[in-house]
Structure 1
């Protein structure tokens, strides 16, 4: 009986000392975009007009939480937009799908002056494709 108690105690403490914490591990499919991203540049679609800094006309931060799988857009002077988030292919390209809006952003990463930016293409409805939309460049904060 004593050896059974010792085995149970070691099993309990051995399991409690693991370094992996499942509650705080970002799902692999969203880990690359996890974090807070500040809008720094907009390239308007057809005209390819580039706007940076104050030229954009507003301040915006996107918060992508891979743990809770949520996408939050915070624009100064506007209410926050929050949606459940999923990563998948739309039109053959990687997309961040805003499930509560039934819309998506195509996305990729682009290096500008030695720094990688998250580039979100203009929002479009799921199962539709937007030609000549704007691209929004975000810098990780």
Structure 2
């Protein structure tokens, strides 16, 4: 009986340690997100500032192992490990997600009134993208 109790306690402690090592930002994005709208970086004069996507896109984050999947119109178009970093060159602290397979990053933020996750258009790690679009996602799971 004592051996079984020790085994169960060990499993619980190990799983708690795994969760504790996960970045808080990854825990915040954990789950599935659906693309709702696209904010235009520099809209044409008199043009729209945001558009509705003409395709279905879902993002899936698994914070426990750092996996990321992008599904577009029902097909997996990207699967990679994802990690969190911050832009050291920015004038203020900006969180970013690093997509390891493509060696790209996207700035990430959250809106307050409608709870959206906003990903800035991705760029190669080490480069600076100043005029990209913003992609607004709503949590679905």
Match of residue 56 from structure 2: 59
- In 1, the alpha carbon distance for the partners of 2:2 and 2:79 equals 45
Matches within 5 A, 1:74-93: 74-76=71-73, 78-90=75-87, 91-92=89-90, 93=94
- SS at 2:116 equivalent: strand
Aligned with 2:127: secondary structure? coil
Task: Give the CA RMSD over aligned residues.
Answer: 2.3
8 Å CA contact retained: 2:107, 2:119 = yes
The TM-score normalised by the length of structure 2 is 0.79
Question: Contact conserved, 2:95 with 2:109, CA < 8 A, in 1?
Answer: yes
Question: Structure 1 CA distance, aligned partners of 2:63 and 2:33?
Answer: 13
- State the distance in 2 between where 1:79 and 1:109 align: 25
- Distance of 1:83 and 1:75 partners within structure 2: 15
C-alpha distance in 2 between matches for 1:75 and 1:134: 18
Provide structure 2 residue ranges, at least 5 long, that are not aligned to the other structure. Answer: none
Q: TM-score normalised to the size of structure 1?
A: 0.79
Query: How much does 1:83 deviate?
Result: 1.1
Deviations 1:67-96 (A, max 9, x none): 120111100065431111110013441000
1:11 offset after TM fit, Å? 5.5
Secondary structure of 1:32 counterpart: helix
Aligned-partner SS, 1:22:
helix
The alignment of Structure 1 onto Structure 2 pairs a total of residues equal to: 128
Whichever structure has more strand as a proportion of its residues is 1
The unaligned stretches of length 5 or more in structure 1 are 1-8
Give the match for residue 137 of structure 2.
138
Q: What does residue 122 of structure 2 align with?
A: 123
CA distance, structure 2, for counterparts of residue 60 and residue 138 of structure 1: 9
**Which one is further off, 13-22 or 33-42?**
13-22
Deviating beyond 2 angstroms after TM superposition, the runs of 4 or more aligned structure 1 residues are: 9-12, 17-21, 23-26, 77-80
Q: Compare CA radii of gyration and give the structure with the larger one.
A: 1
